[in-house]
Amino acid sequence: MGNAPNYRGTYRAHPTFCDALPTDYEINRLFFWFLEEGGELGVVSNLSKALRFAELWNARLSAPDLFEVVEVTDGQTSSETDTRLMGFDISAGYNYSLLSWGLQVPKGVQRLDWRIQNLYELMSRYYRPQLNANGLFETADEAASCLGTLKALQGYSPDLFESGDLGEFRVNGLYRVLEKTQSPRSLREQMAREGA
C-alpha cells in the first residue's frame, strides 16, 4: 500500500477473492463473509473466521505478503483476546495512519517556508527513532506526544498533511491475534485434497 517497509499498523491491505479457485471454496466463502461483515474498513468480530481466512490465504503467499489478524483498541485500552502488543498507531478510523509513511520528510516539504521545513525535520529526527520494528510507538504516551506535535505543525501550515483536519486522528493500540494454526504441511495436504 506504499507504506514504510516495516509499517504494520492500521493502514493495511485486506484479503481479496481468490481467482484461482471456484466461488464455493472455503477461502472465497470467507471472502464474501469478510465483505459483508467488514465492509470498507475490514473490521470483523468473528475471530475464528478471521483467523481461518488469513490462514488459508497465507498458505498461498510468502513473506512479506502474509496477512495478520489484529485487534485495534482506543488509546491504552487493553486487548480482549489472546494477543501480543505490536505498538501504538495514530489513526483516523481503521484505514488511514499518520505513521504509515514512517515519519519521513517528504520532498514536497522543500517547497514550504524554511521555518516549516526546519520544524518538520526536527519533528522527524525526534520521533522517527522512537518507532519500533513494526513502525509504531512503544507507548501510547509517545504516540499522543507525536500527534500533538503533528497538530501543532499543521497549525502553522494548514494543508501540510493530506488528511487536512488532524482532529479525527486518535492513538490506537495494535495487537496481533495469536493464531491457533495448523502446520503448513497439514494445511497444504488439505488444499491438495480440495484440488486447490
* DSSP annotation string for 84-110: EEEEEEEESTTS-BSSTTTT---GGGG
What DSSP line would sit under 8-25, residue for residue? -SS--------TTS-TTS
Average confidence score pLDDT of the chain: 85
Rounded Cα distance between 82 and 74, Å, is 17
Of residues 140 and 158, more confidence is placed in 140
* Structure confidence at residue 163 (pLDDT): 61
What does the pLDDT look like over 22-81, one tens digit per residue? 999 999 999 999 999 988 778 888 889 999 999 999 999 887 788 889 989 988 888 877
Sign of CA dihedral 140, 42, 95, 3: positive
Q: How many CB atoms lie within 10 A of CB 122?
A: 13
Other residues' Cβ atoms within 10 Å of the Cβ of residue 158: 9
Could you tell me the pTM of the whole model?
0.83
pLDDT > 80? residue 4: yes
Give the tens place of pLDDT for each residue, 110-143.
888 899 899 999 999 999 999 999 999 999 999 9
Cis (ω within 30 of 0) for the bond into 158?
A: no
Q: What is the pLDDT of residue 161?
A: 77
Which residues on adjacent β-strands are paired with residue 174? Answer: 72, 87
Question: pLDDT value at position 1?
Answer: 52
Share of the chain above pLDDT 70, in %: 88
- Collapsing DSSP to helix, strand or coil, 71 comes out as strand
Query: Is 160's pLDDT higher than 70?
Result: yes
pLDDT of residue 189 exceeding 70, the answer is no
Say how far apart CA 161 and CA 146 lie, in whole Å: 14
pLDDT at 137: 97
CA distance 158 to 162: 10
Interhelix angle for 26-38 vs 47-58, to 10°? 130
pLDDT band at 106 (very low <50, low <70, confident <90, very high): confident
Residue 131, judged by CB atoms within 10 A of its CB (0-12, 13-18, 19+), counts as buried
Q: 183: pLDDT confidence band, cut at 50, 70 and 90?
A: very low
CA distances from 156 to 51, 124, 139 (A): 44, 16, 27
